[in-house]
Amino acid sequence: MRVEYPVLCASGRCRPDEHGGPRETGGRSHVCPVCEDRARENLDALAAAWPDLQKRLTALRSPWGSEPVTGGGSTGIDLDERVSGTAHAAAELVAFYSRLVIAERGHTPPAASPSSLARWLARSQTPWLCAHPDQGVAASYVGDVADAWRDVRAAAYPVGTKTIRLPLRCSKLCPVPHDDGTMPEPDDDGEWPDGTRFVPCPGGMTATIHPDLQYVPDLVCDLNHGHRVPPAEWQRTGWKSAAKNQAATHRLLQTVDTSGVLDRSSVRVDT
Ligand SMILES: [Zn+2]
Ligand SMILES: [Zn+2]
């Protein structure tokens, strides 16, 4: 089937009229390259934020989670529903477009979790979806993923959230890309395909501090948000010596501690 592509981008989110109106598509897609890139970035960002969204949901549901929540007259329960509703809607959305690709294109995602599907759509399926025979599918895809990322970001990182950079290298490994430039992807159990090679990750660690929740953050790599060290692990003496740089780790604990999120009694600092 021959598909007719428009000259101008079919996404309602393209450049507004006062700035020159929709950009040109280039003739092989219903949307312009900028909108296509944004769709990819929005889904990648959504995948990266997914663990933070889950963590926030867990915190909201903990017995003390609803207490420090302030503003907007909302109760913890309302907030819980809003955050879980956002997570549910985003999971439904990536599942919907994934099912469409599986049914119409015959491609199979490496794993079925929402973050894996989002990453797979972003990296492998976005050009195909933007050039879908049905222009409505392409335009909806671009708009839907923009909305989903906006909602997920607001839910995972409420206003006042700050990320601090820690004087600590990432201690995880990164897979080496395949010869064709694509990246190996782990399955839902975190298993890598046979033959995957690894190098030490060059990233540095960060901690994201929420204004309204008193939980200890994961340490997260700035290059790969999947590289996380949960509090149970990074507060353990064993992990600190494993980090190989006692001085840096010591400063790390002080940095996080002065941000006021840690219960001092729960932190064991080696001196
Ligand atoms: Zn556009
Ligand atoms: Zn890393």
Q: Is the separation of the CB atoms in 111 and 185 below 8 Å?
A: yes
- Whether 63 and 167 map to the same domain: the answer is no
Last residue of a domain, one of 156, 176, 205: 156
pTM of the model: 0.71
pLDDT of residue 40 exceeding 90, the answer is yes
Candidates 127, 122, 109; CA nearest to 49 is: 122
- Whether 243 and 181 map to the same domain: the answer is yes
Q: How close is the Cα of 131 to the center of ligand 1, in Å?
A: 13
* Share above pLDDT 90 across residues of the chain, in percent, rounded to a whole number: 41
Mean pLDDT calculated for residue range 181-203: 83
- pLDDT band with cut points at 50, 70 and 90 for residue 191: confident
SS3 for 203?
Answer: coil
Which helix (H) or strand (E) is 133 found in, with range?
A: none
- pLDDT band with cut points at 50, 70 and 90 for residue 91: very high
> Nearest bound ligand to CA 14?
1
Mean pLDDT calculated for residue range 143-153: 95
Q: How far apart are CA 208 and CA 271, in angstroms?
A: 25
> What pLDDT sits at residue 232?
76
* 179 Cβ contact partners less than 8 Å away, ≥ 6 residues apart: none
> What pLDDT sits at residue 1?
66
Residues with CB under 5 A from ligand 2 (ion): 170, 172, 201, 203, 221, 224, 227
Residue 3 lies in a domain: no
Mean pLDDT calculated for residue range 241-261: 58
Mean pLDDT calculated for residue range 217-246: 73
> What pLDDT sits at residue 68?
44
Domain span at 197: 162-266
Residue 215 lies in a domain: yes
> Nearest bound ligand to CA 24?
1
Number of C-beta neighbours around residue 37 at 10 A: 12
